[in-house]
Structures are given as structure tokens and as C-alpha cells.
Amino acid sequence: MLTQERVRELFDYHDDGYLTWKIKPATQISAGEKAGTKRPDGYYDVGIDYKHYKMHRIIFLWHHGWLPTDVDHNDSDISNNKIGNLKAATRAQNCANRGLRKNNKSGFKGVYQRKDTGKWRASIRVLGSMKKINLGHFDTPEEAHAKYCEAGRHYYGEFFNPG
């Protein structure tokens, strides 16, 4: 199991949200170099003892000495690994902080248009549950999104992201 002691033995943390190697970990990498590589999905990975970890999790461990289920980026920018931007989260809380999905057609998180009525439906998934709550049908996507935001602040609190 990876520990804070092991992480601090390997890395220095820098206020810009990066780690640098304290040791020479591989033939092509020198001590003092930035650690990690950017993945296609935008996260940074770092290899430790033949295992890959997301860098934001290692930075959280470096500072706090423990690892939560998930580590959430406050500003939803997955490349911003400054410690002030990271917080412990459950999987459900981390999912609540996601932005607008790429396949969203309405332009608003939590809103879609019903084909049969043309009305805009707002719905929200309650944290820790697979249950979706119907928030109503509205004439405009803006009205539906306002209702989604009201419910999101109520159910998600500090993890709410209006998209």
C-alpha cells in the first residue's frame, strides 16, 4: 500500500500543482524533473513502484497522508492539481461536480427536450442513489435549467456544478 512517507521520499511538491522527482527513477528520467505524463483524457499519471496512479491522488496523499475514495477538482479542471483545488469526495460527489456532457443536445446540464410534447424536462440524479427525480416540464431550456440548478444546490451542496 502506498503511503505518504513513500510519496514524500520520491517527490517534491510545487505550488503550481506538479511533482518533481527527488531520485532518479529511470534511465531516461533525472532527479529534479517533473514527474508524470498527460493521458489522452487530460489527467496526469505517475508511475510508482511499477504501478500507475493519477497525479492528483498522489498530491492529495502527499499533503494529507490518506486517500479518499475519490479526489475532486473544485474547478472541474482536471489538469489543475494545485492542492487548494483538490478535496476528498465520494464517487457520487465527484460525479455531481462533472460539467456538461459532450453528447448533451440542450446545452444545459440536467435538461432535455421531449420529442412527443416539445417541452423541456429537468431531472436530477440524487447522490448515492440510482434514482432520478423528475423536476418538471418547462417551455424553455433556461427555465428547466433554473429548476435543475435549484435542485442541484439543494442535493449536491459544495459539489454542485451547473455545467
Same domain for 113 and 136, yes or no, is yes
Q: Which of 89, 115, 136 is the last residue of a domain?
A: 89
How open is the CA angle 8-10-11, to the nearest 5 degrees?
70
- 143: domain CATH number is 3.30.730.10
Same domain for 60 and 115, yes or no, is no
The whole domain housing 111 covers 100-159
Average pLDDT over residues 52-58: 96
Distances (CA, A) of 113 to 42, 49, 104, 116, 136: 31, 49, 11, 9, 12
Q: Which of 37, 64, 89 is the last residue of a domain?
A: 89
The model's pTM = 0.80
With a pLDDT cut of 70, the percent of the chain lying above it is: 98
Q: Which of 89, 115, 146 is the last residue of a domain?
A: 89
Same domain for 57 and 25, yes or no, is yes
For residue 44, is it left (φ>0), alpha (ψ between -120 and 50) or beta?
A: beta
Encode pLDDT of 108-160 as tens digits: 999 999 999 999 999 998 866 678 899 999 999 999 999 999 999 998 888 88
- 10: domain CATH number is 3.90.75.20
Q: How many domains does the chain have?
A: 2
Q: Which of helix, strand or coil describes residue 144?
A: helix
Of 116, 117, 119, 163, the C-alpha closest to 141 is 119
What mean pLDDT, rounded, does the chain reach?
A: 91
pLDDT of residue 128: 65
Same domain for 44 and 74, yes or no, is yes
